[in-house]
Chains A and B, each alone.
Chain A
Amino acid sequence: DAKTTQPNSMESNEEEPVHLPCNHSTISGTDYIHWYRQLPSQGPEYVIHGLTSNVNNRMASLAIAEDRKSSTLILHRATLRDAAVYYCIRSNNAGNMLTFGGGTRLMVKP
C-alpha cells in the first residue's frame, strides 16, 4: 500500500513550469511528504520534503494543501535533464520509512 496516488505520466515543454500532483488523503499528522526522482540507471535522488508549510529549494517548490491531503511538486522551468520518474512518498516521522508507489514519468519535449 503506497498510500499516495500520482498520475502515471505527464508531458511538459522545455522551459515551461511543471506541476506534478500527488494525493495522500490518509496522511497522518506526523507524516512528512517527500519527493524523489529517478533518472534512468540511477538511484533515486532527493528533491524536496515538507510537513505543513510550502517549501522551496534550488531544485523545486512543494505546495502542500491546507488539509494536507494533497501536494504539488513544482518545477519552475523544466529542462531536458528533468525527464525522470518522480515519486511522492509519505515518510513516518519516527522511522523515516519510505514506501514507493509507481511514480509519475515526466517527459520533457524540446
Chain B
Amino acid sequence: DADVTQTPRNRITKTGKRIMLECSQTKGHDRMYWYRQDPGLGLRLIYYSFDVKDINKGEISDGYSVSRQAQAKFSLSLESAIPNQTALYFCATSDRQGGQPQHFGDGTRLSIL
C-alpha cells in the first residue's frame, strides 16, 4: 500500500463546480503539502501544514482552500473551479525535522471544462 494516497486519481468536471481532492498518509509525518504541476513545468506550492492547527499559504493559494482534518489527512478544495486550474495535483508529507525529504503521492489529474 502507498504511504501517501491521493483520491481521486483522475477527475473531469465543469467550470464553477466545487471540487475536493483528498490526501491521506500512513507515514506518521506532521507536515503535509499540496502542489500543482502544469505541463512541462516544475511543481508549485499551493498550501502547507506543519500540524493539525497550522495552515499556511504557498506560492499560488488564490482560488484554493485546504482542511487538515487529522494528522493523516489533508484536503484541497477548489471552491469554484475554472479552466486554468486544470493541472496535475500532488500531495506530499515530511517529518518535522528541518531539511528532511518530502514523500509524494501519485497525483490527481484534474481537468476543468
Contact = CB atoms under 8 A, between A and B. Distances in A.
B106 interface: yes
A2 B42 contact: yes
The prevalent SS among residues of A at the interface is loop
B113 interface: no
B106 A42 contact: yes
A94 to B, nearest CB: 6
A12 to B, nearest CB: 21
Interface residues on B, range: 20 to 34
A96 B41 contact: no
A102 B98 contact: no
B90 interface: yes
Contacts of B98: 30, 32, 92-96
A87 B37 CA distance: 13
A103 B42 contact: yes
B44 A96 contact: no
B105 A43 contact: yes
Interface string B10-47: 00000000000000000000010101000001111100
Contact of A45 (B33, B99, B104): B104
A100 B99 contact: no
A49 interface: yes
A80 interface: no
Interface of B: 4, 31, 33, 35, 41-45, 48, 50, 59, 90, 92, 94, 98-107
Which 7 A-B pairs give the minimum distances between C-beta atoms?
A100-B42, A43-B104, A93-B98, A32-B99, A46-B101, A100-B43, A96-B94
